A and B are shown apart, each in its own frame.
Chain A
Amino acid sequence: MRKVKGFLLVVLALLIAMPVFASGSGETKQAAGTPEDPVSIDLWFGAAITEAGMIPEDWVGYDIIRNELGIDLHLTMLPSNESDQDVRIQAAGAANELPDIFMVRRPVLVNLVEQGLVAQVDDCFAKMPVRTALIYDENAIAHATVEGNVYGFASPGAIVRNEGLLVRKDWLDKLGLSVPTTLDEFMEVARAFTFEDPDGNGRDDTYGYGAFVETDATLKGYPGSRLWPIMGAFGVEGLWSFDSETAGLSIYKPEFYDFMVTLKGMCDEGIIDPNWLSYKKDDFRAAWKQGRFGIMYEQNAAYAATANYAPFDANFPDGEWIVIDAIEGPDGKASIGAYDMNYRIYAVSQKAADEGKLDKICELLEWMSSDEGYYLLGWGQEGVNYVFDEDGIPVAGDLGDNAFTGSKGQVVTQLRNMVFYNGDVELASRYPTYVTEVSGKTMSALTTLREMQAKKWTNAIGSGTMPTPNADVQRYYDQSLAEFLTGAKELTQENWQAFIDQFNAIGGAAWNEEGIAKMQADGLIR
């Protein structure tokens, strides 16, 4: 018993002492940056495949980076959800414990810059000639610029204009309808899909349009991008209008009210899946695979990639979606949606810069864009995780689970978003043409992407740098529009004006003015 108590006392003493040692000795020796004395660099990255695991500890890249660059790399995967990422970064920032280099969204970056926690990297681009030529063009640098200084490395994110308006062609054929081209035809098709049993199962279980609320703070204002083709028919797609005549928040355009009336009408008629206000992204995606609706706005890979299309193919071997043109509204306006350049920003903490790590970070990034780094981070090891096909495209071949597409191999490509720039090789490798298992259709997410990109889009480049409102203004904006749609607030001209007046009063007008000033300063008005 005495021994046990003694042991417990020692453990307790250690526990009490732990916080004292947690902060380290206070003196840090500057590492030489050689394989024998490497510089330690902490990198918090956004995973390429969020559902897959962390890069394994025996990843060959660690040794290469240590031996070739003299860097001891420590990786941490950020949460997949953007809000969770923001909280993680901001909490680390509040404690002045940001890692050396980390992925961050622009609104958070602006906060961190205001706090003095992020290093300026204006001089770094000259130190990375290969990477800068490939990735950091003028727009990318502008995206990470705050108050005239560059505070991060912005590299291309998701491919732009990669979403489209899709219609169930098999349903159209069954009901003898043609592809809708105008808003009126669109409504007729939606009604027919809802009330005329397009799947022929004898049950009243289908709807015309399917959606969910997908919003963000700068481009996709409420009710979100999944309604963009309908908004596009009124010319109000995108949170901000960069048009010289209507520059400012789209909500101020009279056509926005007309769009709201149309959408409310769709809700009242029941031709939009009534679950749309409750769906999360995964629910929506499960719903179209179960044949709940016949028109939707979806992303190319989420629709056509092998694994994503397979459940639909199994459920409806005769089913077929087609990408259609933007529908024309009453005044001849049409747009699939608004697009901005998508970037992933990697910022360097001021603490890392103060510790003299900036040059080593530049060295690491430049290496990533070398042939060795590009293929290692993008696809893994040749012969182990990928092989080149006759066109020089990395493919899975017959490498099985270890291939970069396999369950074991995919984890070594978790850093690929740090090197990819949406080049042809990447797209051809990422979206191979394949034959579906059940129906035997030939599918390609790349062909779908090109189809979607060819449609009519609205340029909203610069949206990502626009100011965001405080929580109260944002809530008032979202809540009021939602209440109009659910009927909690009657949608009349009078109520709409009252909403705009109150919105202005609590800070909406100031937000709009700030946005217009930003557009003018950055030359975004077109």
Chain B
Amino acid sequence: MSTLKTKGKSKDLVLQRPLKSKLRREIVRHRSVYLLALLPLVYYIIFKYVPIWNAQIAFKDFKAIRGVVGSEWIGLENFRTFVNSFYFWSLLRNTVMYSVGKLIISLPLSIVLAICIYECTKPGLRKVVQTLAYLPHFLSWVIMYGILLSLLAPGDGVVNDIIKLLGGKPIDFLSNVKAFPWVVLFSDAWKEMGWSAIIFIAALMGIDVSLFEAAMVEGANSWQRVRYITFPAIMPVIVTVVILKLGTILDAGFNQIFMLYSPQVYSVADIIDTWVYRQGLLEFEFGLATAVGLFKGVFGMILVLFANWLSKKLTENSLF
């Protein structure tokens, strides 16, 4: 209830404005914005919230013929199957390794690229670099696999040709357990770095140019400008990106791994999603697949809440 503080009690009653009426007024006043928000809202309700109802099959022995409601409750059996899987810890380790690794490698590279593009004084060069950096994002992992094979194949890959030229022994990057994780991490960075840089470039565009001018007048060099102006200015964006990424920490990139992996590198390549694909989808264990999805979601949510709390405490920046 909203009240306007006045001396007289009767006046106080008259000026009291019910919440409902205020809300309605707000909606009417900003009706265009609400109208715009309606379409995404409908999308989220239909495609994100309604399906939550079906998540109950995570606790059921799902039989399609009986449907979601008619299937038998089995408690936490599907979760037990997942956790007791022979490879559970290996799957979890690989998944977290790739997620965290991508965050550690891709994020700084994206920020550096964004700063480089922003600082570039030649508009033509900036456009070329931007376009080239975005391009790999639009290639599917099927095409990327072909490119990587041409680059990394032990027989006639470009990289191995160079290694051989320098007197080294060829490395089968796609089949070697030590090399494979780096291939995954750096190929992802190469593919997504340019695209991820967009948000940072947008943040950089929002910095008041007079700050840079003042710094230059004061004699700050390029590195000092980046350190004392650019970084603090884009820090809230970095924090937001990190927190959002933590929400999907158990999504290590199914498409990429699925295209690149093979039995010889299963030990370092098999992630939760590829396991769910083989055991859940191909074996018609939809209850199990849903249970793992739920597990990932809850795990991600806990991490987001924790990261948000930590960020608020340490940097005073947070998502909510």
Contact = CB atoms under 8 A, between A and B. Distances in A.
Interface of A: 5, 8-9, 12, 15-16, 19, 83, 86-87, 90-91, 93-96, 108, 111-112, 114-117, 205, 207, 213, 222, 273-275, 277-278, 280, 283, 292, 350, 470-472, 474-476, 478-479, 481-483, 485-486, 488, 506
B266 A479 contact: yes
A5 to B, nearest CB: 6
Contacts of B284: 90, 93-94, 108, 111-112, 114-115
Contacts of B35: 5, 8-9
B172 interface: yes
Contacts of B38: 12
A474 B278 contact: yes
What does DSSP make chain A's interface, helix, strand, loop or mixed? helix
Interface stretch (B22-30, B110-118, B126-134, B147-155): B147-155
B264 A15 contact: no
Interface string B229-273: 000000000000000000000000000000000111011001000
Contacts of B270: 475
B248 to A, nearest CB: 22
Contact of A12 (B42, B149, B174): B42
Interface of B: 32, 35, 38-39, 42, 46, 50, 62-65, 67, 85-87, 145, 149, 153-156, 170, 172, 174-177, 262-264, 266-267, 270, 275, 277-279, 281-284, 286
Q: Which 8 A-B pairs have the closest CB atoms?
A: A482-B264, A478-B263, A471-B279, A111-B284, A482-B263, A479-B266, A116-B65, A471-B278
B231 to A, nearest CB: 41
B312 to A, nearest CB: 37
Contacts of B281: 86-87, 90-91
Contacts of B286: 90, 94
Q: Which of B42, B85, B86, B145 has the most CB of A within 10 A?
A: B86
Given A5-B35, A280-B145, A471-B279, 18 more contacts: A15-B42, A19-B50, A90-B281, A94-B284, A96-B65, A115-B64, A115-B65, A115-B284, A277-B264, A278-B154, A350-B65, A470-B279, A475-B87, A482-B263, A482-B266, A483-B264, A486-B176, A488-B264
A283 B38 CA distance: 49
Contacts of A474: 278
Given A19-B46, A273-B155, A470-B283, A117 B275 contact: no
Contacts of A481: 263
Contacts of B266: 475, 478-479, 482
A96 B42 contact: no
Contacts of A112: 284
A274 B172 contact: yes
A93 B64 contact: yes
A8 to B, nearest CB: 6
Given A8-B35, A482-B264, A274 B155 contact: yes
A292 B86 contact: no
B87 A278 contact: no
Contacts of B32: 5
16 contacts: A12-B38, A12-B42, A19-B46, A94-B64, A108-B284, A116-B63, A117-B65, A275-B156, A278-B175, A470-B283, A479-B266, A482-B175, A482-B263, A482-B264, A486-B175, A506-B86
